[in-house]
């Protein structure tokens, strides 16, 4: 099915990209793992090879993401960070400058600070919630602008259309990490962003059992991203591409449930006397709720909140939860909770965390597909203690 067919995202999740098995009549894309391919073969001008991103199983997963993001091309990789590295290294070289959103995923932050100096790439971390700062920080050699929205763990929201416009004026390629929103809730390319990256490990695969990533783009950037993929070699293998395509079939269904649960839990928490503050883009009190309401079709399942109490009381609360385990990662079918202070932001000093707005009682909740009543009941019993 072509990605230009006007079908709903629920239908695209099930059908787009899937390559039925002609030999057996099987409807499911077979798991292609061959590293050796006949050559010459029929009308092919190049032999198939997994690192070249030619396996039908890889193309099935990638084409599903193409359809969902409204993209022209997509490449699937062995982790989200592999896709992020491919997107950055495709468009930056020694002597260039990049503008990076200040509150981004810790692994991306670390990649930039550890690798860019070695490569001679200059960068500035900028608060993208005020796009005028982006223009102020631009230099003549600024080649790339990197955004993430909603962001981790405070669920900050950035106006992607404004970021894309500023990047165009600057003459830079714009990249957006769409992991938290997924294409079901937000399509950055339709807002003018050039490149979308995903940690497919989270919602796209969706079952907490697969490490993968994806980069989706317009035709103009496809060749460069493919070249970087082939040269650095992080292409997703056929077995895992199969799992990614399988997970994607239920993405729209899962996200609808996750958005409903996320809103229900955020509302319940924000009304609870022992909760000091809830960060969720779907709440009218969120600082950028109006931007989220404009550019998102659902507010997702990620939220964070602060307990009114001490760090020890917050930890005791988390320990009393029986349904929701304390665990890192997010975006799976099961609800998970963690303390950013102890996980994603553990490397920061207490002063740096305070400056970033990450308090000792801040907890991040990834709301799963369980029954909302059960998630709320678990939070409720643990708050009573
Ligand atoms: C997890 C995550 C990543 C990194 O993805 P991996 O699959 O772990 O490499 C990047 N961005 C965001 C927003 C994430 O949550």
**Burial, 165: exposed, middle or buried (Cβ in 10 Å; 0-12, 13-18, 19+)?**
middle
Distance 143 CA to ligand 1 centre (A): 23
| Per-residue pLDDT reduced to its tens digit, 93-106 | 999 999 999 999 98
Q: Distance, CA 103 to ligand 1 centroid (Å)? A: 14
Tokens of 257: 């449930």
Closest atom of ligand 1 to CA, residue 330 = 15
229 Cα: distance to centroid of ligand 1 (angstroms): 18
∠310-312-313 over CA atoms, to 5°?
Answer: 65
Q: Across all residues in the chain, what is the average pLDDT?
A: 95
Could you give the C-alpha distances from 157 to 131, 192, 290, in angstroms and in order?
12, 16, 10
Calculate mean pLDDT across residues 52-72: 98
Report field, pTM of the whole predicted structure over 0.75: yes
Q: Judge whether 275 and 32 are in contact, CB under 8 Å.
A: no
- For residue 46, the model assigns a pLDDT of 84
Q: What is the mean pLDDT of residues 366-379?
A: 98
pLDDT (tens digit per residue) in 164-198: 999 999 999 999 999 999 999 999 999 999 999 99
If phi over 0 gives left and psi between -120 and 50 gives alpha, with beta otherwise, what is residue 348? beta
Question: Which residue minimizes the CA distance to atom 1 of ligand 1?
Answer: 199
Atom 2 of ligand 1, nearest CA residue: 199
């Amino acid at each position: 099915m072509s990605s230009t067919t006007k079908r709903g995202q629920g239908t695209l999740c099930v059908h787009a990209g899937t390559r039925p098995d002609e030999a057996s009549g099987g409807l499911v894309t077979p798991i292609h793992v061959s590293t050796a391919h006949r050559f010459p073969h029929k009308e092919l001008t190049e032999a198939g090879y997994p690192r070249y991103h030619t396996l039908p199983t890889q193309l099935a997963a990638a084409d599903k993401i193409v359809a969902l993001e409204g993209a022209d091309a997509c490449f699937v990789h062995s982790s989200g960070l592999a896709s992020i590295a491919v997107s950055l290294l495709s468009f930056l070289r020694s002597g260039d400058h990049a503008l990076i959103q200040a509150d981004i995923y810790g692994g991306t932050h670390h990649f930039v600070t550890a690798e860019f100096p070695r490569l001679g790439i200059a960068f500035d971390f900028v608060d993208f919630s005020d796009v005028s700062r982006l223009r102020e920080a631009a230099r003549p050699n600024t080649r790339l602008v990197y955004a993430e929205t909603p962001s981790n763990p405070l669920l900050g929201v950035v106006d992607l259309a404004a970021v894309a416009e500023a990047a165009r004026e600057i003459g830079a390629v714009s990249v957006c990490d769409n992991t938290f929103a997924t294409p079901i809730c937000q399509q950055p390319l339709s807002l003018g962003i050039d490149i979308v990256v995903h940690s497919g490990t989270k919602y796209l695969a969706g079952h907490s059992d697969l490490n993968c990533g994806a980069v989706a783009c317009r035709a103009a950037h496809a060749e460069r991203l493919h070249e970087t993929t082939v040269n650095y070699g992080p292409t997703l293998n056929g077995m895992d591409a199969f799992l990614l395509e399988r997970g994607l079939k239920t993405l729209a269904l899962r996200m609808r449930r996750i958005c409903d649960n996320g809103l229900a839990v955020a509302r319940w928490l924000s009304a609870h006397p022992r909760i000091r503050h809830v960060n969720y883009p779907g709440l009218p009190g969120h600082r950028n709720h109006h931007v989220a309401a404009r550019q998102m079709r659902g507010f997702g399942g990620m939220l964070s909140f602060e307990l009114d109490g001490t760090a020890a009381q917050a930890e005791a609360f988390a320990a009393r939860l029986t349904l929701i385990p304390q665990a890192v990662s997010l975006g799976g079918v099961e609800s998970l909770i963690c303390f950013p202070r102890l996980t994603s932001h553990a490397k920061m000093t207490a002063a740096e965390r305070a400056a970033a707005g990450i308090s000792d009682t801040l907890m991040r909740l990834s709301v799963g597909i369980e029954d909302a009543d059960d998630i709320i009941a678990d939070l409720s019993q643990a708050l009573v203690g």
